[in-house]
Structure 1
């Protein structure tokens, strides 16, 4: 058997984010958030795209959004690329998920907790080697918890997980190993077959079970990730070199933007076809941060209308 990479956006959503995958998601969240204890018994899965409820509020793209049986909201993001200001994006998404629960006349007492679970394929916190980490509000000097324990940021850094198959002990170990290593396996390991939800996750991840259209979408995403990694690396190198030569910060930024523009145009052509000169001109006007956001958003585009609608939400220079 050959298994798809659970770290890709397509595979992660397919394995954990469908109505048929509730039991998988419950086991996964119990493992990563509650040390393998059966704390979560049921949950609801919502569409991962979170449209802003306040005019002008930045749109949010998540991999999975779920409401637990105690009304806690969990937003889950699998992040492969270490992009600029990612830490701020996590905090923004968590704060937005918390604050937009209320309608105008609702009381603050109706607010329910939010947990933002982020799995990264890179190291975020170099100061410690722990694979999982949890952040909450505390008093700065005495580290006393804030009275309301309502916003929590939880992280799993896959590169820090070093256990081999024979060293897996807990449900948490097995799920992290699945995320990190499933794509490299040819059979379901015996030690993981004992967990029905993980066995089911492997079944969904079996490449032979995917349709031709799903395989094409997965391939496009894998190409996108590879291209973007290469483009980011090349753009940074070009920007640094140009910055050294010119001795100006503008040189470094321009080099990064040139690389991003080239990648975006190539990906757009693959995703929705060639764009006309007017749309191309608008794309050229985007800032580095806006190009970054477009690179994330275009995976959700089906045709040119989606792109033009997205461009209309951006603050572009007046003609």
Structure 2
């Protein structure tokens, strides 16, 4: 539904209003934009393909890429950076000058907490000097919206940004547009699109299969890491058998005494 609401060329005004609220503190910074194909094809053979939810060119030729992520999977934070760097680098054709590169903003909306030490719903990251925090460039900016940290109720919504966050978090459960939110025309239009684009049974089944696949992949990675670590410990234990006693080897490798005895 997210792609249908924000990624359609017919809903350009919705995306403009949403991005102005989230990225520019409700300032009318983005006047117009062009919605692009979110598929990022690699220019070099062997480089991974990238699939985004929404991609657009906004004011000053900046590229905004948007990804909505439901599950926290291993390596997700690196994927965000990879997609941003890729969107930045693929702007150039072979032989073109680097000064033709335009800034990229990667907006990531998560249904889980990414930064547990912070209570901020919206956080922004850029390239800075480590000690005095001077900016390097603003060419790549990472913006995160962590929905679980947004806990305002309907009667507590104060700003347009609050209303957008409430919409993103609650659109699937609301049966009608709350009057206070209907006053914001782009949000009202977004609600209507959301209502019309309820997932079909087939789409729900596909989504469930995707979530199961992600969970299974996550568990398989953890298991593979654990098995790999144990194999490494066994290899080290074998090398130490001739120089250390079994109890010391057990302490150093984490293997049980019985496991080490089976190696002799």
Q: TM-score, normalised by structure 2?
A: 0.81
How big is the shift at 1:31? 0.8
Determine the C-alpha separation between the residues in 2 that align with 1:47 and 1:139. 34
Determine the C-alpha separation between the residues in 2 that align with 1:64 and 1:141. 35
* Match of residue 220, structure 1, among 205, 227, 230: 205
Poorly superposed stretches of 4+, deviation over 6 Å: none
* Match of residue 177, structure 2, among 173, 179, 188: 188
SS in 2 for 1:70: helix
How big is the shift at 1:187? 1.2
Change (3 A) 1:202 1:139: same
SS in 1 for 2:86: helix
Instruction: Please tell me whether the aligned partners of residues 29 and 59 of structure 2 are also in contact (alpha carbons under 8 angstroms).
Output: no
SS in 2 for 1:78: strand
Q: Does 1:169 align with 2:154?
A: no
1:194-273 equivalence runs, <5 A: 194-206=183-195, 209-210=196-197, 215-228=200-213, 231=216, 235=219, 239=223, 249=230
Determine the C-alpha separation between the residues in 2 that align with 1:112 and 1:247. 42
Determine the C-alpha separation between the residues in 1 that align with 2:168 and 2:86. 27
Change (3 A) 1:44 1:249: farther
Q: Does 1:151 align with 2:136?
A: no
Determine the C-alpha separation between the residues in 1 that align with 2:69 and 2:157. 24
Determine the C-alpha separation between the residues in 2 that align with 1:140 and 1:103. 32
Determine the C-alpha separation between the residues in 2 that align with 1:153 and 1:210. 29
SS in 2 for 1:102: coil
Unaligned runs of 5+ in 1: 1-10, 251-319
Change (3 A) 1:98 1:247: closer
- Deviation string 1:1-54 (CA, Å, 9 cap, x unpaired) is xxxxxxxxxx11001000101001001111110011111010000111111122
Unaligned runs of 5+ in 2: 232-264
Larger radius of gyration: 2
SS in 1 for 2:172: helix
Determine the C-alpha separation between the residues in 2 that align with 1:153 and 1:124. 13
* Match of residue 139, structure 1, among 112, 118, 129: 129
Q: Which residue of 2 aligns with 1:122?
A: 112
Determine the C-alpha separation between the residues in 1 that align with 2:211 and 2:45. 35
Q: Which residue of 1 aligns with 2:45?
A: 55
Determine the C-alpha separation between the residues in 2 that align with 1:17 and 1:113. 20
Q: Which residue of 1 aligns with 2:258?
A: none
Q: Does 1:85 align with 2:75?
A: yes
Determine the C-alpha separation between the residues in 1 that align with 2:129 and 2:215. 42
User: How many residues in Structure 1 have an aligned counterpart in Structure 2?
Assistant: 232
Structure with greater contact order relative to length (CA < 8 Å, sep ≥ 6) = 1
- Deviation string 1:67-109 (CA, Å, 9 cap, x unpaired) is 0031000000000010110011111111111111111221111
How big is the shift at 1:217? 4.3
Change (3 A) 1:167 1:99: same
Determine the C-alpha separation between the residues in 1 that align with 2:34 and 2:51. 18
Cα RMSD for the two superposed structures: 2.5
